[in-house]
A and B are shown apart, each in its own frame.
Chain A
Amino acid sequence: MTHDGIGAPLRRKEDRRFLTGRGRYVHDIVRAHQLYAVFLRSPHAHAEILAVDAKAALASPGVAAVYTAADIAGKINGVPCAWGIVGRDGKPMKEPPHPPLAAGKVRHVGDPVAMVVADSLAAARNAAELVQVSYKVLPAVTAVAEAVKPGAPQLYDDVPGNLCCDWAVGDKAATDVAFAKAHHVAKLDLVNNRLVPNAMESRAALAEYEPSTGEYTLFTSTQLPHVARVLLGVLMLGIPERKFRVVAPDVGGGFGSKQVVYAEEALVTWAAGRLERPVKWVAERSEAFLSDAQGRDHVTHAELALDRDGKFLGLRVSTLANIGGYVSTFGPNIPTNLYGPLLAGAYTTPAIHCEVKVVFSNTVPTDAYRGAGRPEATFVLERLVDVAAHELGLDRVEIRRRNLIPKDAYPYQTPVMLQYDTGDHAATLAKALELSAWSSFAERRAASAARGKLRGIGLVTYIEACGLAPSRIAQQLGARGGIFESANIRVNPSGDISVITGAHSHGQGHETVFAQLVSELLGVPCANVEVIHGDTARSPFGLGTYGSRSAAVGGAAIAKAAGKIIDKGKKIASALLEASEQDIEFKNGAFTVAGTDRSKSFAEIAGAAYTPPPSYPLETLEPGLEETAFYDPVNFTYPGGCHVAEVEVDPETGVTVLVAYTAVDDIGTVLNPLLVEGQVHGGVVQGVGQALCEDCVYDPASGQLLSGSFMDYCMPRADDLPLIVSETACTPSAHNPIGVKGCGETGTIASPATVMNAVVDALAQYGVTHVDMPASPQRVWQAIQAARLRPVAE
């Protein structure tokens, strides 16, 4: 058999439909007699709603209904949060109601105020123009540093200071002691700029209701259909799971923004039931900018205490995190549990304390965006390490070498909750330096200088935590549900296999990589394995895909189910081969009596399970060959590695060009190197986007979103990028049975800090020690000009 199991660079099974225009996204689904929904959104960042008059809209041609907060009051509950955090004082976060349609007040531009449903999109749009809303505009605050100031506009009467939660992690006293004995303290103030995820497929929802059975079906572009069914159905709409099917068909990218449960999904479902007609909504891009959960948005002060030799003694971090106008599904968890505990990074820093003020503002809510908290932590730590190296006159590689966790120190307990299982940072560092030709950089810098350009190089040694999560730990940290994954393996009578996973693919390639995994474990050709996902009616309850968890948790669930299949197969084989079960070995797709050539193929065992021969012990062994497993991991997984970037800056224009990028990532066992490489490329480029061009900007006076289209929000294009050199290393994870760690976010976690370390290095000759993201031409040019005007220190 040609090897198409674990480690094979198999081309994707799902490609053909996408390449021939046969992908089926929610945008593409049409139902007979469907209605079209349009949302009227607030043009103001902060205002009281004085009155809503929908009479003219209702009278408009083709309109089936107009709904406002008054119409849904008591019928649809607020949008729930799935992860409540607890403050340093032991009190739960402030969690004000999040009405599906703004009630009384709007809290950001784009807050939905009314829903118009009509028999054509044009009719719905026209009618939405006729809804009269009277607002009393209030002062707005969008910047997190302003929102916490005394006298700032208050979003909620009962949330003083706009403070959702004052959270902390680590040992403050121990950290203070570490700082007291420090030889040097490096300090840095930085901003992690707000981003818009911008999956290419905008969010969309199409709901239908079957009056004869009372069943609802919602097609929605989500990363987590089962979770959506509970949050939307049970919690918001009062529809029990058995009457509510959620289908996430092909989903055109997610990056975290579709692991959030949104008001529009509930409203469309509710309207379909009320009107007894299918209702479809597709977000326009401008609407996506105003309603998809955004990412990042931190303001941070950080200090690193070092001894005389450059060893890290302690780290102190104080962050203001902007979560926008409402608590989003996982919003408060991102800048806290997924941020503070990551500040140990790949280093042996013995004492760490991190405090985070989680703050409301008149902006779109923030939530998970690729990396979710971990890029922010990496950015703080890795910028600060560079600052410390600069101030101590230490080489940037050397300071990292002195502080990396040694390979033989694993498992390694950090001072901020996490216990890392495996890793070899010295090896990934060495490999990245070699691949990036770090040692010959001076020559390339000189060549750039000869052309009037400033060349800089930067590196990052990072770690991430992914594979969310052990349910017990997650629940201690505020998760309002278990976090595990499910798999169902159905061996069909002919021996081909259906694998139904609770994870969800929106580009990752699960249909291929999970088939490879089953092929490896059960010894059947990959072509005979079909992976099914994204439909609550077909898959067992699962948590979906986010946090690089599909392979580590979903894959482990599949491995567990495959183990059960093998166990049952051995029982069947033992009867058929008249041998004791203990003597049956399963190898290379066959059940064999150990030490003999007596053997049954996998297909023969499958056949026997469904067409039991006389020797099949039906009295003691059920027919059929189908197993379900739920897998709850013992811990997170911890990918890590080293990235290196080189940039070239034009000092006359401030234009920064990324000229080289190297990524060496230890992601544990590699299931499919081709798919891993694709994940790394995509992740790196999203991080490069943050570093060099992407910026979500609100006008501070009006609260209007200034970067509200692809014309204003600059995402990387093909000609902004060099060829990325990507390699993997492997210390298998000890936290799951297949040794995988996760690869979806490593790129985004490492690359912003890597690129910015290179930018600062390029500008070092001007005395520049930090540049905030994005390093736009204007910002870089200004940094150079400011330095030129500054008196020389010496």
Chain B
Amino acid sequence: MEIKLTVNAQLVTVEVEANLLLSALLRDRLRLTGTHVACDTSQCGACTVLVDGASAKSCTLLAAEAAGSSVVTIEGLAADGALHPMQQAFHEQHGLQCGFCTPGMVMSAVDLVAVNPDPSEAEIRAWLKGNICRCTGYQNIVKAIRAGAAALRSA
């Protein structure tokens, strides 16, 4: 079937099979490989993107379900080459190591701050239940999200 959706502010018209996952559409068809797939069971959150502003696990959505929606991936976050404040905060706070969970962490954090502009440490940790990181022990990710939230508040 043919679907139309917006990906990173660009209108996309694409022919998809009914069983094509959104993650596969992004990675394989649109070559937006920043969205990672790491668990197949919707546990790890590496594939998190924003769908109409809310974070969603793209490995658990059919591409067809995103028809008509606006999808933002990690590639769409930095505007004109400048890092998004949340990306910058992850950099400043050393909130990433191998980088594989990072896109999902950042997208999830962007959504958190949209709904809760000043999250506490406990609120951040609770929000990250759906994102697994094996490298950092989460501590600097939590610090980064607090710093990113502060930067966004003052922006």
Chain A positions within 8 Å of B, measured between CB atoms, are 11-12, 14-25, 27-28, 30, 198-202, 250-253, 255, 284-286, 506-509, 674-675, 677-678, 681-686, 709-711, 715-719, 721, 723-724, 747
Contacts and interface: CB of A to CB of B under 8 A. Distances in A.
A635 B65 CA distance: 59
A20 B125 contact: no
B142 A509 contact: no
6 contacts: A19-B90, A21-B34, A21-B74, A200-B132, A718-B142, A723-B139
B130 to A, nearest CB: 8
B134 A681 contact: no
B15 interface: no
A253 B100 contact: yes
B33 interface: yes
A200 B38 contact: yes
A718 B125 contact: yes
A27 B41 contact: no
B134 A285 contact: no
Interface size class of B (residues with CB under 8 A): 35 or more
B124 interface: yes
Contacts of B46: 200
Contact of B90 (A14, A15, A24, A717): A15
A432 B26 CA distance: 48
A255 B133 CA distance: 13
Contacts of A16: 83, 91
Contacts of B34: 20-23
A11 B94 contact: yes
Contact of A717 (B94, B96, B103, B129): B129
A347 B90 CA distance: 40
B41 A709 contact: yes
Given A15-B91, A286-B40, A721-B125, A20 B77 contact: yes
Nearest to B145: A718
Given A200-B44, A253-B134, A682-B137, A719 B126 contact: yes
Given A15-B96, A19-B106, A682 B91 contact: no
A18 B102 contact: yes
A711 B139 contact: no
A11 B122 CA distance: 26
B151 interface: no
B91 A201 contact: no
Given A200-B44, A718-B124, A723-B139, 12 more contacts: A18-B99, A18-B103, A23-B34, A200-B101, A201-B100, A285-B38, A285-B41, A506-B98, A507-B135, A677-B94, A685-B137, A710-B44
Contacts of B139: 681, 721, 723-724
B125 A251 contact: no
Contacts of B137: 681-686, 716, 721, 724, 747
B35 interface: yes
B58 interface: no
Nearest to A712: B41
B93 to A, nearest CB: 9
B149 interface: no
Given A21-B32, A27-B33, A678-B140, A253 B43 contact: no
B37 interface: yes
Interface of B: 27, 31-41, 43-44, 46, 73-75, 77-78, 83, 87, 90-92, 94, 96-103, 106, 121-122, 124-126, 128-129, 131-142
B134 A199 contact: yes
Given A21-B33, A27-B37, A710-B39, A508 B132 contact: no
Given A710-B41, A719-B125, A12 B94 contact: yes
A285 B128 CA distance: 20
Nearest to B97: A507
Contacts of A255: 134
A200 B46 CA distance: 8
Nearest to B129: A717
A124 B11 CA distance: 32
B98 A199 contact: yes
A431 B85 CA distance: 36
A198 B91 contact: no
A602 to B, nearest CB: 29
Contacts, number: 172
Nearest to B130: A717
A198 B101 CA distance: 12
Nearest to B99: A18
A348 to B, nearest CB: 33
A20 B75 contact: yes
A685 B132 CA distance: 12
Nearest to B73: A21
Given A253-B134, A682-B135, A721-B138, A509 B97 contact: yes
A23 B99 contact: yes
Contacts of A674: 94
B132 A19 contact: no
Given A16-B83, A21-B103, A678 B39 contact: no
Contacts of A284: 40
A252 B138 contact: no
Nearest to B76: A21
A724 B77 CA distance: 30
A17 B140 CA distance: 18
Contacts of B91: 11-12, 15-16, 19
B43 A718 contact: no
A18 B96 contact: yes
Contacts of B131: 718
B41 to A, nearest CB: 5
Which of A17, A25, A683 has the most chain B CB atoms inside 10 A of its CB? Answer: A25
Nearest to B44: A710
Contacts of B100: 23, 25, 199-201, 252-253
B127 to A, nearest CB: 8
Contacts of B128: 717-719
A514 to B, nearest CB: 16
B17 to A, nearest CB: 9
Contact of A710 (B124, B132, B133): B132
A24 B98 CA distance: 11
B112 to A, nearest CB: 12
Nearest to B104: A200
B94 A678 contact: yes
Given A20-B34, A20-B77, A675 B94 contact: yes
Nearest to B86: A19
Contacts of B129: 717-719
Contacts of A685: 137-138
Contacts of B125: 717-719, 721
B137 to A, nearest CB: 3
A375 B86 CA distance: 36
A200 B98 contact: yes
A719 B43 CA distance: 15
A219 B134 CA distance: 23
A718 B138 contact: yes
Nearest to B124: A718
Contacts of B87: 19-20
Contact of B98 (A11, A251, A686, A719): A251
A534 B43 CA distance: 30
B83 A19 contact: yes
Which of B33, B74, B122, B141 has the most chain A CB atoms inside 10 A of its CB? Answer: B33
Contact of B83 (A20, A710, A723): A20
A674 B75 CA distance: 26
A11 B93 CA distance: 8
B8 to A, nearest CB: 10
Contact of B35 (A11, A21, A285, A716): A21
Given A16-B83, A685-B137, A711 B99 contact: no
A747 B136 CA distance: 12
A302 to B, nearest CB: 29
Contacts of A252: 36, 38, 98-100
